[in-house]
Homo-oligomer: A and B are copies of this chain.
Amino acid sequence: MVQDSIRILQAQGHKATRPRKLVLEILEEMDRPLSPYDIQGVLRQRGKYLNHVTIYRVLDILCSLNLAHKMLSSGGFVRCSLDMAEGCHRFMVCQHCGAIREFADKELCQGENEFARNFGFHAEHHHSELAGLCSRCYRK
C-alpha cells in the first residue's frame, strides 16, 4: 500500500511529498512496469503534472530502498514496478504485442541460487525475462 511505502520513506529521512505519493499511487494502481514517461502520461490524463526529472528521481529513491525495481525494456528505456516479492522479478514479454506481465516464484529462485553457488556466486536479487508469445498472440 502507498501508505506503507511512505512510512518507509520517512523512516529513512525522506520527505512525504506530493510527487512521491503520486508516483507510488500510479505504480500500485497500474500494476505493471512503467517508464517515467508512462507515469507522466497517466498523470497528464488526469490533469496532473510532474516533471520527468522528478519522476526519475522518485523512482531512484524507491529502487534504492528496494520498494521498487527497475527493468530495461526492449525499447531501451527503464521501467519500474513495485517490489512485491522481495527480490524476485520475473517477466513474460510478448514479442508480438509487447505486453509485459510479472510473476514470482521461490522455487525458481532456489534453483538459480544453487546453480550460482557452484560458481561461488551469492545471489541476492533475481531478474528474469521470458520472451515469447502471450496466450492471445499465440492463437493467431
Interface of A with B (CB < 8 Å)?
72-73, 76, 78, 90, 92, 94-95, 101, 103, 105, 107-108, 111-113, 115-116, 119-135, 138
Contact = CB atoms under 8 A, between A and B. Distances in A.
A92 B119 contact: yes
8 contacts: A90-B115, A105-B115, A108-B108, A112-B130, A120-B135, A123-B131, A123-B132, A126-B128
Contact of A92 (B95, B123, B128, B129): B123
A105 B113 CA distance: 12
Contacts of A133: 121-122, 124
A88 B131 CA distance: 11
A53 to B, nearest CB: 16
Contact of A122 (B105, B111, B129, B132): B132
Given A76-B78, A128-B128, A130-B126, A138 B112 contact: no
Given A90-B112, A126-B128, 5 more contacts: A72-B76, A76-B78, A119-B135, A125-B132, A127-B129
A116 B130 contact: yes
A132 B124 contact: yes
